[in-house]
Structure 1
Amino acid sequence: MSIILKAENISKQYRLGTVGTGTLSHDLNRWWHSIRGKEDPYLKIGGVNDRSLKASEDYVWALKDINFEVNQGEVLGIIGKNGAGKSTLLKILSRVTAPSTGIIKTKGRIASLLEVGTGFHPELTGRENIYLNGAILGMTKSEITTKLDEIIDFSGCEMYIDTPVKRYSSGMTVRLGFAVAAHLEPEILVVDEVLAVGDAEFQKKAIGKMKDLSKGQGRTVIFVSHNMDAVKSLCSRGIVLGNGNLIFTGSARDSVEYYLNNFKSISKKECLLDHTHRRNNTTNEVEMVKITSHNNLVTLEIPLNFSLSVIKNIRSDVEVSITGTVLNMNELEIGSFFTPSVNITQHNSVINFIIENHNLSPGEYYLNFSVATGSLENSNFIILDQAFEAIGFEILDSFNNGVFTKWSKSWGDIHFKSDIKIDEI
């Protein structure tokens, strides 16, 4: 296959805390070096793109020395944590911004869908925005007119097509934007995480369209997503970014495995909960969660036993319940649980809860959970504390009634118990 896109030594530097280059002295310094044919002096400095650290320099490398090639008809997945540089790379590939160093070589037309509403004017109708967005992406008016009915039908927004886009939901806007970009028939389609805004039906339709573009029409797709199942399903190859660096490249499945093994490290056995597990202003009632099962490893024969070292702030004599979800390492919700209420009589207590008959197949999982008062039926349900990625655990292959049971990960995450009955004739 021929190479349709090549990135050579791509780097992007930003100045922290200000817009633009910052000061007149920096601009003059850059100008003085440029007229003498010398390199930009500020490209020699800059901190690592790690958003969790305090900045030690005025400049940061959002991307640093990125090199890769994409073949015609290939679907490339780009994965990494928030802030790893994925969106910056897509903006460079789409020519929204220029790299600080390096060069992008491409063949053919590039269409991109990077943010909700990009290229749409809120006061114009959906029909008018199709023409506007199509023109921005390089389509002629006659091309758009020829494909107009097909674009409207794919978007599923026909009822509102003559309504101003400012009255659309974010999901409807994404539907229309993707429909235009997909029917541009570009040689390269660049898609960011915006599909997550759409509903399940549209995401399935969009992924199907991208598969058709790559396999049916031989076009190239570059896809960024935090949905690991979508990456494995859609992409033929993947690259993993970390702190602005390209740290792994390989098949889509190998890239996902590398990412999950190296970046999805969730504490097992016990976990002291802190701000990294909380995403809202809950009152931090829970201090620690731990696994109390045999050898801290869970097998298929026994229930999941957990204990929460709760409740340093909750007032005495209050009934609480625990609710939550079990997720696999692909961030797919496998199931949920809801415990009965228990009365708390002391300020510092330990709640033990059990998930029975889980029927999970071998693999790694983790819990999100909430501690709440009240009941859903009486509309007085109040969440006191929430923890995300609170604790991980592993289901092992095991003996079941004396028969060794080994499950392939490709068979799914839940083992449905079954039985047979023979009717004698």
Structure 2
Amino acid sequence: MGTILKAENISKQYRLGKVGTGTLGDDLKRWWYHLRGKEDPFLKVGGVNDRSAKATEDYIWALRDINFEVKQGEVLGIIGKNGAGKSTLLKLLSRVTAPTTGSIKTKGRIASLLEIGTGFHPELTGRENIFMNGAVLGMTKAEIKTKLDEIIAFSGCEMYIDTPVKRYSSGMTVRLGFAVAAHLEPEILVVDEVLAVGDAEFQKKAIGKMQDLSTGEGRTVIFVSHNMASVKSLCDRGIVLENGLSVFEGEVEKAINFYLSNERKVIPKDLSTVENRSGTRLAKFKSFEIIHPNGQSVENVLSGDSVIFTFTLDIINPNKSLKVDLGFSIHTPDDELVSVLYSSYQNEVKHLEGSGCYTMECKIEELPLNEGEYIVKGRIECDKVESDWPKFPLGKFNVVKGDFYKTGNLGFNGKSKLLIKGEWGLKI
């Protein structure tokens, strides 16, 4: 298979806090350097794209010196933390914006699904938007008509296809947008994280369609997602972005392992110092640890053992009582969700008075997890409003196979992560 897309030394620079390229003085300086045949002076300056650090320069490199090639029929996954430059890269590939330096060479049509409703006119119906999107991609009306019924059926929006798009839910908009992009026969399909908005059934359907496009029809797919399980099942190769730089390129499994190992290395002891989180922060996570019933902090536990998930919170609440609902989720190293639990599920919302440091505990009897490594993420609601949602793991732990069934039988050695017990009987 030949190369269908080639990115050579592409970089994208933005000016912080401003709309446009900058001041009149900056533009005159650029013009003067250009007139004398010299390089743009602002290409020599600019801070690193590290959103957690304080800005010290007016210009920032959202991407810097990115190089890669994509073969026809290949599925390339682009992964990285929020703000790493993934969406900026996709906008460059989709011609939404131009690179500051470097070049992108492609063969054939590119269809993009970057953000919810991108390219849709809210006053037009779903049917009219299908024709408009097809025209933008360079298709004739006759070509679109041949695909129309297939697009509508795939989207699952038949009932609302003649309703203005402004009345669609975000999930319906994504369904229709993906259906249009995937069925108008682009040589390259670019898909951002938007599939996360759809329900589980549609996500499975969309991933199946992308697999069909690449393996059956020889189309090229460039896919961005935070769901490592989806990336692993769909992609052949992966690129890891960090602070606007490409830090790894290779087989998708190795790319995922590189990304996740870096993520786990940087989990700080004091979680309150990390800025990559959302919410009001009336209450926020300060630390997390797993305590054995004997009182010791542990990172390795036996399946079937009792453990206490312990969360230390910083409360900034000078005047009133807060109703705190704490939730946590357990994930595999591929970021596949294993389980989630909120205190409100068990009517255990806690009333906390005044500012200070509090500890909330959740004891799990007979931990029902098979052996392996797990990641813990968390979220806090105060008075039913999001207070803290860190975009990073709170911690990690390892499960060692133990006597979960209390029979000496250590159970199944396959991929199943969840262990269950049952009461057996026989009726004749």
TM-score grouping bracket, smaller chain normalisation: 0.7 to 0.9
State how far apart, in whole Å, the 1-side matches of 2:360 and 2:170 are.
41
Counterpart contact for 1:324–1:369, Cα < 8 Å:
yes
Give the structure 2 partner of residue 353 of structure 1.
362
Aligned residue in 2 for 1:393: 396
Alpha-carbon distance in structure 2 between the residues aligned to 1:324 and 1:396: 17
- Per the TM alignment, residue 64 of structure 1 is displaced from its structure 2 partner at its CA by 0.5
* CA positional deviation for 1:237: 0.7
Q: How does 1:246-325 map to 2 (within 5 A)?
A: 246-265=246-265, 267=267, 271=270, 273=272, 276=275, 279-284=278-283, 288-293=287-292, 294=296, 296-297=298-299, 298-309=301-312, 323-325=327-329
- Rounded to whole Å, the distance in 2 between the matches of 1:391 and 1:127 is 45
| Offset from partner CA, 1:358-382 (integer Å, 9 cap, x none) | 211221221425487xxxxxxxx86
Structure 1 portions without partners, runs of 5+:
373-380
User: 1:402 Cα shift?
Assistant: 9.1
- Quote the RMSD (CA, aligned, Å): 3.3
In the TM superposition, what is the alpha-carbon distance from 1:326 to its structure 2 partner? 2.7
Deviates more, 1:170-179 or 1:300-309: 300-309
Task: Give 1:405 deviation, angstroms.
Answer: 5.1
* Distance in 2 between residues matched to 1:142 and 1:201, nearest whole Å: 31
> How many Å separate the matches in 1 of 2:118 and 2:170?
11
Change in CA separation of 1:350 and 1:73 when aligned onto 2, cut-off 3 Å:
closer
Structure 1 residues 392, 62: CA separation in 2 closer, same or farther (over 3 Å shift)? Answer: same
Superposition deviation, residue 322 in structure 1: 5.5
Moved more, 4-13 or 290-299: 290-299
Corresponding letter in the other structure for 1:177: G
Do the aligned residues in 2 keep the contact of 1:264 with 1:329 (CA within 8 Å)? no
Query: Which residues of 2 match residues 15-414 of structure 1 at below 5 A?
Result: 15-265=15-265, 267=267, 271=270, 273=272, 276=275, 279-284=278-283, 288-293=287-292, 294=296, 296-297=298-299, 298-309=301-312, 323-337=327-341, 338=343, 341=348, 350-361=359-370, 362-368=372-378, 370=380, 388=390, 391-400=394-403, 411-414=415-418
**Equivalent AA in structure 1 for residue 289 of structure 2:** K
The CA distance in 2 between the partners of 1:241 and 1:209, in whole Å, is 26
Q: SS state of the match for residue 178, structure 1?
A: helix
Task: Name the CA distance, whole Å, in 1 between partners of 2:156 and 2:128.
Answer: 16
Separation of aligned partners in 2, 1:412 and 1:12: 43
Q: 3-state SS of the aligned residue for 2:278?
A: coil
Deviates more, 1:48-57 or 1:207-216: 48-57
1:412 Cα offset (Å): 3.3
- Using the aligned pairs only, state the percent identity: 55
Separation of aligned partners in 2, 1:144 and 1:312: 57
Q: What's the offset of the Cα at 1:33?
A: 2.2
Deviations 1:275-307 (A, max 9, x none): 648532253277544322255122224112233
**Which shows bigger deviation, 201-210 or 303-312?**
303-312
Deviations 1:331-354 (A, max 9, x none): 333223446758989987655431
Q: Which amino acid aligns with 2:329?
A: T
- Normalising by structure 2, what TM-score? 0.85
Deviation, 1:391, is 3.3
Cα contact 1:77–1:224 (8 A) shared by 2: yes
- Cα offset for 1:35? 2.9
Q: Structure 2: which amino acid aligns with 1:280?
A: G
CA separation of 1:244 and 1:403: change in aligned 2, threshold 3 A? same
Shift of 1:117: 1.5
Structure 1: how far apart are the matches of 2:142 and 2:373?
54
State the alpha-carbon separation in 2 of the partners of residues 231 and 47 from structure 1: 30
Whether contact under 8 Å (1:366, 1:392) holds in the other structure is: yes
Task: State the distance in 1 between where 2:16 and 2:314 align.
Answer: 40
8 Å CA contact 2:324, 2:352 repeated in 1: yes
Task: Give yes or no for contact 1:137–1:181 (8 Å, CA) kept in 2.
Answer: no
The AA in structure 2 aligned to 1:354 is K
Structure 2 Cα separation of the partners of residues 344 and 44 of structure 1: 52
| 1:4-40 deviation line (CA, Å, top 9, x unaligned) | 1111111111111212221222212222222333221
Unpaired runs of 5+ residues, structure 2, are none
AA aligned to 1:356 is: E
Letter of the aligned partner of 1:75 in structure 2?
Answer: V
Distance 1:322 1:175, change over 3 A: closer
d(CA) in 2 for partners of 1:255 and 1:20?
35
